[in-house]
Amino acid sequence: MILLMALGLAAAAAPAALAQSRAPAAQRFFPKADLMKIGVYYYPEQWPASQWERDLGKIAELGFEFTHFGEFAWGFLEPADGKFDFAWLDRAVDLAARSGLKVILCTPTPCPPAWMGEKYPEIYLVGGDGRRREHGTRANASLANDVFLKYTGRIVTELARRYGRDPRVWGWQLDNEPSAPVDYSPSARQKFQAWLERKYGTVDKMNAAWGGNFWSTKYDSFAQVLIPNESLFGEDALSPHAVLDFRRFTADTQADYLHFQRDILREHILPEQWVTTNYINVTDTADPRRTDRLDFISFTMYPVRGEKNLGELGFRLGSPYRLAFAVDYYRSFKGVTGVMELQPGQVNWAPINPQPEPGAIRMWLWHAFGGGLSFACTYRFRQPLYGSELYHAGIVGPDGVTPSRGGLEFVRVIAEMKELRKLYDPVAKMPERVAARRAALLWSHDVMWDLDIHRQTALWDTWDHRFKMMAAIKAAGAPLDYIGEDDDFAAYPFLVAPAYQLVDEALVQKWTRYVEGGGHLVLTCRTGQKTKSGQLPEAPWAGLVAPLIGAEVELFDNLLDDGRGLVRMKGKGYTWNRWADVLKPLPGTETLAVYVDQFYAGRPAVVTRKLGRGTVTYIGVDTIEGGLERDVLREVYARAGVDAENYPPGVYVEWRDGFFVGVNYSSRPFAVPVKPGSKVVLGSNPLCPANVLIWRE
């Protein structure tokens, strides 16, 4: 691979083309010619049995191709300890199949039945407030509790035995939106201590990693260790290193829980049935990378949630970032993904719940398609008549039969998808100019946790910072993967590591080899300032990366909320107030942007240098609009001789299976540059907000 890159930019497309020709293992579950299948959740246990046949028939009649059962039905599947009732689910699966619908079956573990808590109150998790969660909601069990694990093992085994060889079951969803709940229960404490002992071996090593000499916070034994309770302390904060370990433990506990279920299923189920789970789109505590034994990883998506977003229509069009991020992030793990829940209309749980803009739901579906998804499913078919989600839209309204506005948008896309399938070209190849832009974003939850634990300025926002870098890459029209430190950097001509604070020598060396071999590396502010345990190395500030970036970080600065600092590049100004690394270039390093004001006016904010056959660029500032980040990235592409697009914020263009797919989350029409001779197969140009344009070259 390095050799290919050494051959120069003409060869930059080769690794991407290579990656494309190797179909991911999970692709076997989803014939490519189906493009994207569309389905909907149904809850037989919430409706009179006499209506199931009508409802499932209606789902099929509207064109949906699969349904989804059971993630909250434990109380119906095991109505009493050890007494199982599958008769109702048998009937529902049967009715679905008769209507031509495949079934995604779920493990019901978010909802332990009341009898379990009555017998074993210790199964519940304990919150940061010290209170034990009780029956009456969901996701309330301690994943560290052995009694709960025993019951989990049993229900999953029973389900696997009953449905694991049933070809009407398409695949399995584990649990629901695994969120790695922060758990202060005695079970969690005990498991945390064991986790620490495995990690450190001796308590002295743990004390060193946690900075135990600071405020006499050291421990004499693992048994003394308490769970660092972040919610109880203010300014005199807990050891950030201890907190970081607790976050790692919490994510590992969630991952172990999912792997535990997955391993049981795999013992019993057909090889054709897949196993996944549905992470929340921007998951903070759970870490999808830790569940690498699942066949692929899916996600849930609610873009309209009472946020302003871009322009006057933004609050109805939805976040321009969430879906754009999720399609690439979740697809990157196994090369295949799907959206398990895509907002069907107005929701009930945001502080304010506006109606989506007419067309927005259709646009999200096509965006999901463009992002390479194998399926899109929506929560839920019928609007509930009782329970806490009363105001939540469904595909049909409260009468159970009349399609909602969102329902009709789904129906329209289903019909359009059927037409598009006729145009599917199995040998379509990504155009070389697009493949040449291929980029990877280096992402680690450990780094994110460390940034969040020790933000230094209340204005710091890790997600926002990474979204800005993502948007800069997508504005260039680049295919994007999210990769981890163990992945092959050289498969990508461009690699961006935003605010990658935790590093060790091995990572810095890997970056250096990548650049020397011809890669273009972009690092942003805060990168390389700490070691992997979150401590500062005994060296000048950011000393671990200074030799690589060809600059020292003299100091860093944060402004007040209403403060605005100015940075200038090529005569254009950009404002910032969150973070500024003030740089001092070493000989051979070029300055791209400088600070215009503050006591360090004239000093560099962005630097770049050539190293071996590649380049490394350091963007030391987080700008308010992300415009500088975007322009610097364009400069990196231009200097690399790669032709990049310049899409405005909120416009995304994806390439998939021979189709270019453009969507528009901005509040203005945009004339999409389409190569002459191309054929538009859906929509029209200019591309209006809440709309889609699909064409083939």
Residues that bind ligand GAL (CB under 6 A): 176-177, 300, 302, 341, 347, 349, 379, 389, 392
Smallest gap from Cβ 380 to ligand GAL, in A, equals 8
Smallest gap from Cβ 303 to ligand GAL, in A, equals 12
Smallest gap from Cβ 38 to ligand GAL, in A, equals 18
Smallest gap from Cβ 113 to ligand GAL, in A, equals 18
Residue 532 near residue 502, CB atoms below 8 Å:
yes
What span, in angstroms and rounded, lies between the C-alpha atoms of 103 and 368? 21
Smallest gap from Cβ 41 to ligand GAL, in A, equals 8
Taking Cα atoms as reference points, which of 401, 376, 441 lies closest to residue 51? 401
How many helices (H) does the chain have, and how many strands (E)?
20, 23
Residue 218 near residue 155, CB atoms below 8 Å:
no
**In this structure, what is the dihedral angle of CA atoms 512, 513, 515, 519, given to the nearest 10 degrees?**
-140
How many other C-beta atoms lie within 10 A of the C-beta of residue 86? 16
What span, in angstroms and rounded, lies between the C-alpha atoms of 64 and 56? 10
Nearest residue to ligand GAL, scored by beta-carbon proximity? 177
* Closest CB to ligand GAL among residues 137, 509: 137
DSSP 34: G
Smallest gap from Cβ 343 to ligand GAL, in A, equals 7
Taking Cα atoms as reference points, which of 419, 370, 415, 474 lies closest to residue 692? 370
Smallest gap from Cβ 344 to ligand GAL, in A, equals 9
* Closest CB to ligand GAL among residues 301, 592: 301
Smallest gap from Cβ 387 to ligand GAL, in A, equals 10
* Closest CB to ligand GAL among residues 366, 379: 379
What span, in angstroms and rounded, lies between the C-alpha atoms of 166 and 601? 69
* Closest CB to ligand GAL among residues 344, 620: 344
Taking Cα atoms as reference points, which of 630, 642, 639 lies closest to residue 609? 639
What span, in angstroms and rounded, lies between the C-alpha atoms of 241 and 208? 10
Taking Cα atoms as reference points, which of 412, 592, 651, 618 lies closest to residue 525? 618
Beta-bridge mates of residue 692: 663
* Closest CB to ligand GAL among residues 283, 589: 283
What span, in angstroms and rounded, lies between the C-alpha atoms of 415 and 636? 42
* Closest CB to ligand GAL among residues 70, 164: 70
* Closest CB to ligand GAL among residues 215, 349: 349
Taking Cα atoms as reference points, which of 395, 423, 178 lies closest to residue 278? 178
Element of type H or E holding 12: none
* Closest CB to ligand GAL among residues 397, 543: 397
DSSP 535: P
* Closest CB to ligand GAL among residues 138, 189: 138
Beta-bridge mates of residue 81: none
* Closest CB to ligand GAL among residues 239, 276: 276
* Closest CB to ligand GAL among residues 382, 392: 392
Q: What is the DSSP string of 69-131?
A: E-TT-HHHHSSBTTB---HHHHHHHHHHHHTT-EEEEE--TTS--HHHHHH-GGGB-B-TTSP
Smallest gap from Cβ 280 to ligand GAL, in A, equals 7
* Closest CB to ligand GAL among residues 246, 321: 321
Smallest gap from Cβ 365 to ligand GAL, in A, equals 17
Between strands 274-280 and 565-569, the pairing is unpaired
φ and ψ of 174, to 5 deg: -85, 125
* Closest CB to ligand GAL among residues 152, 343: 343
Q: Which residues lie below 8 Å from residue 205, measured CB to CB, with a gap of 6+?
A: none
Taking Cα atoms as reference points, which of 327, 411, 392 lies closest to residue 39? 411
CA pseudo-torsion sign 498, 563, 636, 508: negative
What span, in angstroms and rounded, lies between the C-alpha atoms of 70 and 77? 9
CA within 13 Å, CB half, 58 = 19
Smallest gap from Cβ 374 to ligand GAL, in A, equals 20
Q: Which residues lie below 8 Å from residue 198, measured CB to CB, with a gap of 6+?
A: none
* Closest CB to ligand GAL among residues 345, 662: 345
Smallest gap from Cβ 322 to ligand GAL, in A, equals 13
Smallest gap from Cβ 282 to ligand GAL, in A, equals 12
- 360-370 helix and 405-421 helix, angle to the nearest 10 degrees: 40
Smallest gap from Cβ 127 to ligand GAL, in A, equals 19
Smallest gap from Cβ 381 to ligand GAL, in A, equals 13
* Closest CB to ligand GAL among residues 43, 660: 43
How many other C-beta atoms lie within 10 A of the C-beta of residue 618? 31
What span, in angstroms and rounded, lies between the C-alpha atoms of 134 and 143? 15
